């Protein structure tokens, strides 16, 4: 649906495999009353689904890439993973953008975070639990044209790839670089590390690590089963999601409808309980109850506005 001119934009990518997650993500934006534009990098998403996007109260712009030879040569997975940062960097008509993974659910309206990045000259991302060294002497697949891009550097501002807020006018060159070290080189000499590593190196190379604000992974990514743990688990108050400590949850991330993925999460949490909490039955019960709640929340979002038909 067309709306007033949007100052901010979401960027997300998906193929048919991730369509169910994209659908839940878009519905979650509707649920939190988002009015900002959403740019979708599509690899052959079905027209029958795309035709439904007009039901949303915000504008969606679809960028079909599967029919372009340059992307076909680079591959479906690599293009969807990496080109979203290049697209976001090009969107200089917006004051601020945010890049998301498709298997995310937005829990609260994000306009305030857009405003912060548009006015303060900062990059906002989700901090990684384990920080790393980059550059000379580390990770051979970080080489480009046979050479490391940066000297040996400790990155205390190591952040996830999703969500990632920035102003394209201020930092578009930084995140565009993460695409070009992959796309501009032949297979044997291009950057081969994950997109998240490319972002970290791009930030360090451009010397903007001091402009990075790293948010809590508990409330912005729910990594490492954090919303299942007895000291940080999810709860609901007055229709909104919080941690048990009263922290606002902004994003939940995961393939909540997948039996395999849920099994990995529960196995990891139960092993942690066995190791650190004396095999506490109550802690295992909390973890299962929280998993069941998060699955029900994902199911609610998956059906909220647009219906996805497998």
The neighbouring-strand residues paired with 225 are none
Q: What are phi and psi of 25, to 5 degrees?
A: -60, -50
* Range list of H helices, the chain: 19-31, 47-50, 69-74, 76-90, 111-120, 168-183, 195-205, 217-220, 259-276, 281-302
The reported pLDDT for the residue numbered 1 is 53
Which helix (H) or strand (E) segment holds residue 3: the answer is none
User: What does each C-alpha distance from 76 to 22, 26, 65, 175 come to in angstroms?
Assistant: 17, 22, 9, 20
Tokens of 82: 């990496």
> Which tens digits make up the pLDDT trace of 213-228?
999 999 998 877 899 9
The reported pLDDT for the residue numbered 281 is 93
The top-level CATH class assigned to 8-217 is: alpha beta
**String of DSSP letters for 103-138:** SEEE-S--HHHHHHHHHH--EEEEEPSS-EEESTTS
R_g (Cα) of the chain, nearest Å: 20
pTM of the model: 0.94
Intervals of the chain under pLDDT 50:
none
The reported pLDDT for the residue numbered 131 is 86
Q: Considering only CA atoms, which of 162, 196, 8, 177 is closest in space to residue 97?
A: 8
Sketch the domain layout of the chain as residue ranges: 8-217, 220-302
Pairing of strands 123-127, 234-237: unpaired
User: What does each C-alpha distance from 69 to 45, 46, 66, 84, 199 come to in angstroms?
Assistant: 17, 20, 8, 17, 25
The reported pLDDT for the residue numbered 310 is 64
Cis (ω within 30 of 0) for the bond into 163?
yes
């Amino acid at each position: 649906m067309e709306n007033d001119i949007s100052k901010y934009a979401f960027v997300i990518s998906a193929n048919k495999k991730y369509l169910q997650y994209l659908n839940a993500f878009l519905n979650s934006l509707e649920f939190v009353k988002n009015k900002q534009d959403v740019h979708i990098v599509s690899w052959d998403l079905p027209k029958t689904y795309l035709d439904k996007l007009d039901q949303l109260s915000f504008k969606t712009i679809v960028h079909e890439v599967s029919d372009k030879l340059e992307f076909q040569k680079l591959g479906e997975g690599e293009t969807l993973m990496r080109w979203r940062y290049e697209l976001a960097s090009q969107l200089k008509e917006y004051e601020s953008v945010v890049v998301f993974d498709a298997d995310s659910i937005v829990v609260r309206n994000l306009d305030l975070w857009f405003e912060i990045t548009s006015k303060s000259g900062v990059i906002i991302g989700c901090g990684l639990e384990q920080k790393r060294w980059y550059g000379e002497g580390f990770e051979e697949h970080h080489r480009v044209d046979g050479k490391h891009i940066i000297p040996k550097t400790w990155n205390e501002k190591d952040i996830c790839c999703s969500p990632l807020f920035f102003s394209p006018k201020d930092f578009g060159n930084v995140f565009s670089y993460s695409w070009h070290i992959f796309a501009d080189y032949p297979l044997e000499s291009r950057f081969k590390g994950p997109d998240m590593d490319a972002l970290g190196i791009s930030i360090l190379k451009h010397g903007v690590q001091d402009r990075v604000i790293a948010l809590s992974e508990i409330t912005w990514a729910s990594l490492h089963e954090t919303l299942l743990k007895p000291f940080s688990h999810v709860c609901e108050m007055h229709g909104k999601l919080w941690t048990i400590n009263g922290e606002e949850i902004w994003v939940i991330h995961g393939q909540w409808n997948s039996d395999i993925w849920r099994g990995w999460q529960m196995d990891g949490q139960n092993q942690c309980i066995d190791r650190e909490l004396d095999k506490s039955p109550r802690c295992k019960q909390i973890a299962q109850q929280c998993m069941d709640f998060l699955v029900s929340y994902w199911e609610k979002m998956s059906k909220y506005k647009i219906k996805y038909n497998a």
